[in-house]
Amino acid sequence: MDSRPSFAVGHIQLRVNDVGAEMAFYLDHGLREIVNRKDFGILELRGGTHLVLNPVNESEPATTQAPFDLMADDIDAAHARFVKRGDQASDIEHGNIHSSFTVQGPSGYSLRVTSSHVAGPV
């Protein structure tokens, strides 16, 4: 019997100023490379979700908040990895459900990283 949830998120998209810098940023933090081109990138997260990186269109405003968050099993280790790499990471805030921090991505958007509370196989 398969006890996983019925669905997973397949693809999420982020429009960025520099696809190569974004690819390096996410590869440094453990995502898996699927496609890496100058103007297009795909990275894989746990569960098979693909993060699609596309260049910002000139007519679009720059993104200030990433339209997703990342969940980490060990929030302290994740935070330390960002800080060690020299990324601009906030202090960890501890809440009732999640602990979280934000980090600034290469294109200037704010990315929230939260503690995981996965309930069973995913």
Supply the pLDDT for residue 110. 92
Supply the pLDDT for residue 5. 80
Supply the pLDDT for residue 60. 65
With vertex at residue 7, the alpha carbon angle to CA 69 and CA 116, rounded to the nearest 5 degrees, is: 35
pLDDT tens digit sequence for 33-82 = 999 999 999 999 988 899 999 998 876 655 688 989 999 989 999 999 99
Supply the pLDDT for residue 121. 64
Supply the pLDDT for residue 45. 94
Residue type, 59: S
Supply the pLDDT for residue 102. 96
Q: What average pLDDT does the chain have?
A: 89
Which tokens in the block code for residue 78? 């994740």
pLDDT surpassing 80 at residue 122: no
54/51 Cα distance (integer angstroms): 10
Its pTM stands at 0.85
Supply the pLDDT for residue 20. 96
Residue type, 3: S
pLDDT surpassing 60 at residue 6: yes
